[in-house]
Structures are given as structure tokens and as C-alpha cells.
Amino acid sequence: MMTRNVALFVTCLVDVMRPRIGFAAIRALEAAGCDVVVPQGQTCCGQPALNSGDRDHAAALAKQTIKALEPYEAIIVPSGSCAGTIRCHYPEIFEHDAAWLPRAQAVAAKTFEVMAYLDEVCGWKPEGVSVDAKATYHDSCSGLRELGIKAQPRRLLKSIDGLTFAPLAGEETCCGFGGTFCVKYPAISNAIVGEKADAIDATGADLLLAGDLGCLMNMAGKLNRKGSKVRAYHAIELIAGMGDGPAIGEEA
Amino acid sequence: MSGFTDRADAALADPILKIAVERTAGTAEAKRGIAVAAFPDFDAARIRAAAIKDHVIAHLGHYLEKFEANAVAAGAKVHWASTSDEACRIVIDLCKRANAKTVARSKSMLGEEIGLPHALAEAGIGRVETDLAEHIIQLADERPSHIIWPAMHKTREQVSALFKAKHRSPHEEETIAAMAESARRQLRGEMLGADVGISGANFLIADTGAICTVTNEGNAELSLVPPRVHIVTAGIEKIVPSMPHAIHMLRMLARSATGAALTQYTTFYTGPRRPGDRDGPEEMHIVLVDNGRTRMREEGLAEMLRCIRCGACMNHCVVFRQIGGHAYGGTYPGPMGSVLTPVFDGLPKNRDLAHACTLNGKCQEVCPVRIPLPTLLRGWREKSWREGLEPTSMRFGLGVWAWVARRPALYRFGTGLAVRAMRLLGRKGWIGKLPLAGGWTRYRDMPKPAAQTFMAQYQRERRK
Ligand code: SF4
């Protein structure tokens, strides 16, 4: 098998809140035959600034991220929303910047969400992984609508022994996280995630899976507050065979 | 009026509103899903619809002149208004010249946009609404909360109570049929006695000078046929080149709005009554309104002029579904309203609207003319930032964060500290109260971060 020299863009949220997701991504990518590097110049892709309207800071962080990531064959991100920022929005940011636009486009073209990369590019499937549980899946918005991620995680998860699925009503409906939306309009966000948490509970699943830590923290935080027993993981944790570790909000 | 957040809070505290909005928007969402799935290639049709509108917007002058010439040739009079005040003045003048005591109005969002109900009241001209929902709104002295279902925020029970209080001979049974009958009794006489009819337009057809209106109650016809004078008010972006284009847009409009293949009543009409015609108005006036539209084209909002006012974006919006239309504070609610309201009412008063969106992209996915609503909202956020309208705390906070994030070594040190501080606040795996994130922890818990950041763990493991 050809080894691929790929860079992992960890994302600020995974870095600070749940490093396991980064390690799971590395483990799965290595199993799929990739050589994974974590470039040290990375911090955050700039999405919070971009979505707040602060284009200058967004551009500054985008430049830093481009510089850190451009030497690699592919850039892998364990988050649909951060991958979407690099793929879809970096070229927009530098629309009128002749020097940076080609660099932004080049990086955008080789940036992938981790599960999409494993499934579509590597054609890989987890082997010998088993999890005895019933899961339900939430399609996070940016991954779904900016990158077309829908079938890929499901295909990967279907290769896990013992894992069964319960469909989630409104699986494509936003959970109300929205980056800074959840702190700017907490009451509206709460009403949205409240409905989401009820729908998750109604599936009777043991596990809630998704591909974005922000959404997962929002849903898991609400589920915990309402006393639900559903446990939440980033799907890549299960795919990488790390589903036996603590779920989001459980002590290690 | 109070600000967006107060209005949203009030809406969230109203359980009946939630039920009412969910009944209508939920049904519309489901029906649209079925209609679109049954359409051979809806995406190709959306691309075509967007292309038709883009073409028209790029050559607006050409098509408007063509429309005017053809409408005039058919016997209509065309008037031009660049602001809402001017538009109202023209309409009021026409009404006065016709000696109108009452006008029969058919629901039109443009009429709401330019404040026509208010202008009529000020001029002392009576107004009978031919659209049932508008009649409800008029009785309740409220504003529409949706562009297709102006009274969607009211439950049937609330409407029944309203009719009982306000109708001359109200219904006795609580059935829909009895309630509709009560409205008929109330409205019919008034409608037939109106001197002037005022309606909007869904499409203006350039190569014939025809107007197209769609309603589900046939009420546009009631403002168009019986009165002696008929006035059409329409935004200049409503133009389409020809009938086949109008038909394509109609197919998109009905499916996106209600999930129906076509609206109950779709009427095309050109000019006033001709010699030998048995009915129709003696005079027909068309008021073409700019009200910021050409400015939108210049200010990077040209894509918004594609909008055919189907309401799909709001029906599918998670935020709209929680707070309803009144919370948006403008004529147009939901995602499209959040883009449009700052055009009409200024950004300083409406900067909240651009932010009250999770950027989840569903509105763009369902929009029949593929308007990139999230991108346009982000554009307003950028303008607001550039113009210094964003709160100082936000500007300062993001500034500090970006400054640190551009210094990876300092950033790693900072995140290391933050993780330790957060862990001190946690009990078991969760943090129930987090300073600076009170909005989060008021409603949900925050998971406690791991003992070390990814970067720290990764460095440590690599050193081994
Ligand atoms: S923006 Fe699109 S979805 Fe919303 S009302 Fe206009 S045409 Fe319909």
C-alpha cells in the first residue's frame, strides 16, 4: 500500500476539550496506511473570527494555518465545520488577494474531513473492531451541507461488529450550537438543543455519534443536564477502536 | 419596540405560539419534502430558476422598460416609486382621485413593506382585507408573522375567540366551516362595496405586460374584478421575461411554499376592462417600487433579489421555528428577513438579526432560487464589524484571542492554563457553572477537558 504523508489539523476544540479525538484520527489514518504528522504551527482555523464578521483576524489566522499546512500531501481534520472553513471559506477570504488566493485554493483542495478521507480516498474500513451497543447519528450541518458528508461515516461505522443503529428523527436538523450562536443567544439555542435531546432520547439508543465536537458538546451537555443516560462520542473514536474509553463528560 | 432578544425571549415563553408555528411550518416542511422528492430533478430546476432571476436582475432596466411599454399598450398606467413613502403617496392619491371610501386589499408583502395599511388609515380610507389570514391580523391589530401565512402564530382556538369578539354575527359552532362562514358574512358586503382594489404581484411578465398573482382563496380576484379602479403594487425585482419563465417560477414557488404542485388560484391579467368585457376594472394602475432594491444590487446583495417569497427558508429554519416571525421585528421574518430588514431599516437597529442564525445552511438548501442566505448574513456581520457596531466586549475578546492564536507557543501555554483552570471547576466529568460562558451553562453542562491538551500529550509521547 502506498503511504500517504498527511497532516492532522487537530482543531482548537479537540486540542483543548477532547484530545482523544485527535489520537483516534491518527490511529485510524495510520491503520489506513497514512504517515501522520501534526504540524506545530497550527492553532485555530479562524472560524470564530470569520463567523463574527472579523475578516482581518480571520485572514491572519487563515494565513498562519495555510503556512503550517501547505507542505503536506493532504490535510485531515476531525471536524466537518473546520474542514469546511478551510475548503469553502479560505478561498472566499482571499478572493481579492492575488498572492494568497492560489495558496488558499491549493490548501483547500487537499483538505478533508477525516471520515470522508478514510472512506472516499483511502477506501478503508475498520477491521476487528467491535462495540456492543445501539447508536444514533446526528449529521452536523457544516459537514453535511458544505462537504456532503452523510454516507461516509455510516459506511465506516457499519463495519464495526455488534454496533446497531436507531434512526434519529430530524438527523439533519441543526442542534443549535452554531459556534458563538449558543453563547450569544443561549435561550434560543437551548430551545433548539432541547428538542434535539428529546429526539435523541426517543431513539432508545445507548450512544450518540457525530462528526463535530462542538455539536457533540452541545448535545451531550444538554442530555446530561436533563439526566439522560445516552453517552456521546465522536464517531472516529469508535471507528478507531477507541469506543471503550470514557464518553464525553465521563471521568477517564 | 424592544430589541430582538427581548422579543425572542417573549416568544420562547409563549407555549401556544410554539404549537401554532409548529403546526404550520412542520406541515409545510413535510409536504415540501414529498413534493420535491416527486419532482424529476429539482436541483436542475433550482439552477434554472436562479439563472432566470439572475439574468433579469442583471438587465433590470431593459425588462422594466419592456414591461412598461406592454402594460401601457394594454391600457394600464404605470407609476414609479423609489421609496416606500413615494409608493404610498401614489396609491393614496389614486384612491382619493377615485373618491374611495373603502379599498379591498389582497395580501401583498410589498404592501406591508411600504406600510400601506398604515398609510390608508392615516388618509382616512377604510380597508377590507380579502385574505382570511390578513383579516385575522387586521381584527387583532397585529402584523403578519409569516409571508405566506400571516396569522400562522395564532391557533384556531385563538382565531375563534377573536371572531366571536369582533364579528357582527359570529359563528356558534367551533368548526372551521362555521368560522369561515362567519368571516364570509362579515367580509362579503364590505368587499363588494369597495371602490378601489389593491393587490400585489407574484410576477410581472415583461413581454406581455401581464401580472400574475397566486392565492389559495381566490381573494386577489376579489380586489381585482369588482372595484372600478384596480391598483397593483410590485417590487421591481418581480419581473420575468416571458410566460414560460413565469410558469417555471410558479412551479418552484408553489412546491417550495406549501408542497402543492400549483396554488389554488393562479391568475394572469393584462390591462383594465376592454370594450365588450363583462367585468374587470375601468382603470388599472401599476406602481413599481424600488425601495432600496437597486441599492441592493450595488451593495453585494443582488442574489437576494432572486427571492420569490416562498417562505421555505423560514419554514425550515431552526431559529424561526422556535421564536416565530414577530421576533424578527421587520416585515419579512426568518433568514430572508434577516437579510432584507437591514436594507429597509438600517443595520444599527438590526445587527442582531445577522447573528441570530447558526449558519447551518438549511435555508440555502431549500431555497428554490439558491440564495446563499448564510453568506449574505455573514456579509452583514462583516459590515457591522467594519462599522464598529459590534459590542466592545466582543471586539476586545476576539482581538485578544486572535493575537494569542497567532503565537503558537504562547497559545499552547494559554490553552494549558485554561485546561487546568477549567478542571478545577468540574465535578465528576462535568462543569455546571463556567465563568464567561454563563449562557452555555445556564442550560447545559460543559464537559470537563482532559488533563492535558492534545498538543501537550502529543509532544510528550513523541519525546519518549
Ligand atoms: S429566500 Fe429563498 S426560500 Fe426564502 S422566501 Fe426567498 S425564495 Fe423562498
- Tell me: pLDDT of B1 over 50: no
B311 CA to middle of ligand 1, Å? 5
In angstroms, rounded to a whole number, what is the distance separating the alpha carbons of residues A240 and B150? 51
* Chain B hits for A186, Cβ within 8 Å: 438-440, 442-443
Is B279:B273 a contact under the CB 8 Å cutoff? yes
Q: From A15, which residue of chain B is nearest by alpha-carbon distance?
A: B454
**What residues contact B38, with CB distance under 8 A and at least 6 apart?**
none
Q: B173 is written with which cell numbers?
A: 359552532
Average pLDDT over residues A86-105: 97
In angstroms, rounded to a whole number, what is the distance separating the alpha carbons of residues B228 and B430? 71
- Tell me: pLDDT of B428 over 50: yes
In angstroms, rounded to a whole number, what is the distance separating the alpha carbons of residues B378 and B383? 9
% of chain B exceeding 70 in pLDDT = 99
Average pLDDT over residues B431-455: 92
Report how far apart, in Å, the C-alpha atoms of A221 and of each of A218, B173, B281 are: 5, 48, 63
Mutation site for A-interface testing, chosen from B350, B360, B403, B436 by largest number of A Cβ within 10 Å: B360
**What residues contact B270, with CB distance under 8 A and at least 6 apart?**
B71, B74, B76, B208, B209, B210, B211
Q: For the segment A131-179, what is each residue's pLDDT rounded down to a tens digit?
A: 999 999 999 999 999 999 999 999 999 999 999 999 999 999 999 999 9
Q: For the segment A106-129, what is each residue's pLDDT rounded down to a tens digit?
A: 999 999 999 999 999 999 999 999
Angle at B432 between CA A186 and CA A136, to 5 degrees: 70
* Chain A hits for B405, Cβ within 8 Å: 12, 43-44, 46, 61, 64
Average pLDDT over residues A182-194: 96
Is A224:B445 a contact under the CB 8 Å cutoff? yes
Encode A159-170: b = buried (16+ Cβ within 10 Å), e = exposed. ebeebebeebee
Residues pairing with B427 in the sheet = B430
Mutation site for A-interface testing, chosen from B367, B375, B454 by largest number of A Cβ within 10 Å: B454
**What residues contact A87, with CB distance under 8 A and at least 6 apart?**
A108, A109, A111, A146, A147
Is A79:A113 a contact under the CB 8 Å cutoff? yes
Average pLDDT in chain A: 97
What's the confidence (pLDDT) of residue B462? 77
B236 CA to middle of ligand 1, Å? 17
B202 CA to middle of ligand 1, Å? 13
As a three-state string, the secondary structure of B73-104 is: HCCCEEEEECCHHHHHHHHHHHHHHCCCCEEE
- Tell me: pLDDT of A3 over 80: no
Is A208:A136 a contact under the CB 8 Å cutoff? yes
SS3 of residue B163 by DSSP: helix
Encode A118-154: b = buried (16+ Cβ within 10 Å), e = exposed. bbbebebbbeebebebebbbbbbbbbbbbbebbebbb
Average pLDDT in chain B: 95
B100 lines ligand 1 (CB under 6 A): no
B311 lines ligand 1 (CB under 6 A): yes
Mutation site for A-interface testing, chosen from B318, B347, B420, B463 by largest number of A Cβ within 10 Å: B318
Average pLDDT over residues B273-288: 94
In angstroms, rounded to a whole number, what is the distance separating the alpha carbons of residues A207 and A180? 26
In angstroms, rounded to a whole number, what is the distance separating the alpha carbons of residues B105 and B196? 8
B336 lines ligand 1 (CB under 6 A): yes
Residue B438's pLDDT band (boundaries 50, 70, 90)?
A: confident
Higher pLDDT, B222 or B205: B205
B305 lines ligand 1 (CB under 6 A): no
| φ/ψ of residue A133, rounded to 5 | -165, 165
In angstroms, rounded to a whole number, what is the distance separating the alpha carbons of residues B393 and A180? 14
Residues 86-145 of A with CB under 8 A from B: 92, 141-142, 144-145
- Tell me: pLDDT of B132 over 70: yes
Q: Which atom of ligand 1 is nearest to the CA of B334?
A: 4
Q: Are strands A161-165 and A207-210 parallel, antiparallel or unpaired?
A: unpaired
What's the confidence (pLDDT) of residue B84? 97
Q: Are strands B265-269 and B283-289 parallel, antiparallel or unpaired?
A: unpaired
Average pLDDT over residues B260-266: 92
B309 lines ligand 1 (CB under 6 A): yes
What's the confidence (pLDDT) of residue B323? 98
Is B382:B390 a contact under the CB 8 Å cutoff? no
The overall longest dimension of chain B from CA atoms, in Å, is: 98
B242 CA to middle of ligand 1, Å? 21
In angstroms, rounded to a whole number, what is the distance separating the alpha carbons of residues B120 and B128? 11
Residues pairing with B215 in the sheet = B265
The amino acid occupying position B52 is I
Residue B65's pLDDT band (boundaries 50, 70, 90)?
A: very high
Judge residue B61's burial from the number of C-beta atoms within 10 Å of its C-beta, 0-12 exposed, 13-18 middle, 19 or more buried: exposed
Residue B305 Cα to chain centre, angstroms: 12
Q: B252 is written with which cell numbers?
A: 418552484
Q: For the segment B5-54, what is each residue's pLDDT rounded down to a tens digit?
A: 999 999 999 999 999 999 999 999 999 999 999 999 999 999 999 999 99
Q: For the segment A44-53, what is each residue's pLDDT rounded down to a tens digit?
A: 999 999 999 9
The amino acid occupying position B109 is M
What's the confidence (pLDDT) of residue A1? 54
B355 vs A12, A145, A184: nearest CB? A184
* Chain A hits for B17, Cβ within 8 Å: none
CA atoms B147, B150, B154, B155: torsion sign: negative
Angle at B202 between CA B198 and CA B208, to 5 degrees: 95
In angstroms, rounded to a whole number, what is the distance separating the alpha carbons of residues B455 and A11? 11
* Chain B hits for A88, Cβ within 8 Å: none
Q: For the segment B174-202, what is each residue's pLDDT rounded down to a tens digit?
A: 899 999 999 999 998 888 889 999 999 99
In angstroms, rounded to a whole number, what is the distance separating the alpha carbons of residues B71 and B66? 9
CA atoms B193, B196, B200, B206: torsion sign: positive
SS3 of residue B439 by DSSP: helix
What's the confidence (pLDDT) of residue B436? 78
In angstroms, rounded to a whole number, what is the distance separating the alpha carbons of residues B46 and A142? 21
Is A69 within 8 Å of chain B by CB? no
Report how far apart, in Å, the C-alpha atoms of B25 and of each of A199, B43, B107, B157, B256 are: 18, 22, 19, 18, 12
* Chain B hits for A172, Cβ within 8 Å: 362
| CB spacing of B429 vs A249 below 8 angstroms | yes
Q: From B374, which residue of chain A is nearest by alpha-carbon distance?
A: A51
Judge residue B32's burial from the number of C-beta atoms within 10 Å of its C-beta, 0-12 exposed, 13-18 middle, 19 or more buried: buried
- Tell me: pLDDT of B295 over 80: yes
Average pLDDT over residues B108-117: 96
CB atoms within 10 A of CB B436: 9
- Tell me: pLDDT of A24 over 60: yes
Concatenating the DSSP letter of every residue in B389-427 gives -S-HHHHHHHHHHHHHHTSHHHHHHHHHHHHHHHHHH-B
**Distance of residue B138 Cα from the nearest chain A Cα, in angstroms:** 29
Single out the residue of B137, B138, B136 nearest to residue B127, CA to CA: B138
Single out the residue of A145, A131, A135, A102 nearest to residue A245, CA to CA: A131
* Chain B hits for A16, Cβ within 8 Å: 415, 418-419, 449, 453-454
Is A2 within 8 Å of chain B by CB? no
The amino acid occupying position B368 is P
